[in-house]
A and B are shown apart, each in its own frame.
Chain A
Amino acid sequence: MEVHKISVFGGYGKDGSAEKVNEFSLEVGDIISIVGPTGCGKTTLINDIELFANENTPSGRRVTINDEPVPEDFIFDPSNHPIALISQHTNFLSDLPVEEFLTIHATVRGATDVASIIEETLNFANELTGEPIMKDIAMTELSGGQTRSLLIADAVVIGNSPIILLDEIENAGIHRTKALELLKRYKKIFVFVTHDPCIALMSDFRIVMKNGAMQSLIVTRPEERKVAGKMKQIDDMMLDFRTIIRSGEELTESIFNENFKVLTF
């Protein structure tokens, strides 16, 4: 079954009152964000989506795919499961070498050209990380950022999941606007739980959470898109500064001013 649409129907907030957003839908190609202060229920919302909640989770929310209730084998078989959730706790526990592990996963997924799919996965991951991931290093030896990058790359390329939920990837030290650009090349649905204004404004719309409930849905208007563009410039500048510091150089006032001048606003 091809997934082209996923819909979420509102339930209740922590105080038992009905959610103000009572429905939203995502279609292939959509990128959205879930925002709000910590503890407001952002992660619970994506957990509900991942589980295809059917009024059986504490929030009482309901999820449908292609306007239909979700088939059972979607729920029980992770290789049929159309959603990949990469959470803040998600980790690799296997100490197999990267290449061997990816081979196992690609084989389980029934890939025909295992070598090239692994190549693509590693290239994807390495665009997001600082230090490239080596094929023969153990999964457990990867750094936090490398792990997150490989999790994303594996879910997108090998898992080929049509829906990808990413919980606070900005904390992982990976290149996040780059990640967003790369992800846009794949026809999928991406949901970001984020505190990052850049990611939020680069999304098609954002859901604002408060006290366990979906409070409002804000579509990114052209004005905000313009702001997003400016913010990306600031973000890139900060990344340049980060690169300077990471590579052991000094960040002088003249370098700072030079970078600042490049801003076009």
Chain B
Amino acid sequence: MKLVIFAGPPTCGKTTVIRQVLKRMAARQIKAAYLKIDVLYADDDTIIAKEFGIPVKKIYSGELCPDHCNVVVLDEAVEWADSCGAGYLFVETAGLCLRCSPYVENSLGIVVLEATSGMNLPRKIGPMLTLADISVITKIDLISQAEREVFRYRVLESAKKITVVESNALYGIGIDPIVKQILKTPDIEFPMFLRGNPPVGTCTICVGKKEIGAKHHFGVLRTLDEDLVYVGE
């Protein structure tokens, strides 16, 4: 089983890129399964099932963050894809806080970023970009050549070894190099491990404490002026 994980901010064009990739996979008669992890709403699974007739699954992460959800379900998802007879599992996830990264060792990590989100975006997002193998930049036709160059430069400044692919996915432009990389992806190994370290410590906010202010929390904290401190046993 080969695992390809697509991450990126909402509305950046992940699904459009995936559909173009699936089109090319179908032309090569390669069967992929598709798992969508979103927070509250998604209908891409039904659209993809209808268009390509491949096995699809959708999970709403709800109270969990999508990356967290990805970690706890991925092993079963790989089994599911295997039982469907698919050689590839495509996972589309909307990692939200950008402190985690969904990529697994031996998978292919693809981060989709839209060129229109501003030249500073590559500097703002962390491991979702820095731990990815490919950065697909979408909507390139909407911004100036100059900003494209600066955007790309800043992607490479954050993630030096990443492969940058510029794409106008609506027209299927720039998709071939992504497919090429997907076909070169090695098989996944078990047990699977996250590629990066998740954020430090147990977060009291994640476990449900709603009070505002550091004095109500423990673990790794900070105040407005002080850097990180540890409070607890």
Contacts and interface: CB of A to CB of B under 8 A. Distances in A.
Interface string B139-182: 00111111111101100000000011110100111101100000
Given A76-B164, A90-B141, A161-B145, A104 B150 contact: yes
Contacts of B165: 76
Interface in B96-152: 116, 118-119, 141-150, 152
Nearest to B148: A78
A94 interface: yes
Contact of A154 (B145, B153, B168): B145
Nearest to A150: B144
A25 B145 CA distance: 24
Interface string A107-140: 0110000000000000000000000000000000
A67 B116 CA distance: 35
Contacts of B150: 104-105, 108
A151 interface: yes
Nearest to A83: B145
B173 A57 contact: yes
Contact of A89 (B141, B148, B163): B141
Contacts, number: 77
A91 B166 contact: no
B147 to A, nearest CB: 6
B173 A151 contact: no
Interface string A71-87: 00000111101001111
Contacts of A86: 144-145
Given A51-B173, A76-B166, A93 B118 contact: yes
A105 B143 CA distance: 14
A210 B152 CA distance: 36
Question: Which of B147, B148, B172 counts the most A-chain CB atoms under 10 A from its CB?
Answer: B147
Q: How large is the interface on A (under 10, 10 to 19, 20 to 34, 35 or more residues)?
A: 20 to 34
Contacts of A151: 144-146
Contacts of A158: 146
A110 to B, nearest CB: 11
A90 B149 contact: no
A162 interface: no
Given A76-B165, A79-B153, A93 B143 contact: yes
Given A51-B173, A151-B144, A94 B119 contact: yes
Contacts of A104: 119, 150
A79 to B, nearest CB: 5
Given A51-B173, A94-B119, A79 B149 contact: yes
Interface string A89-108: 11111100000010011001
29 contacts: A47-B168, A51-B174, A57-B171, A57-B173, A58-B171, A76-B163, A76-B164, A76-B166, A77-B152, A78-B148, A78-B149, A79-B149, A84-B145, A89-B141, A90-B142, A92-B143, A93-B118, A93-B142, A94-B119, A94-B147, A105-B146, A105-B149, A105-B150, A108-B150, A109-B149, A154-B145, A154-B146, A158-B146, A161-B145
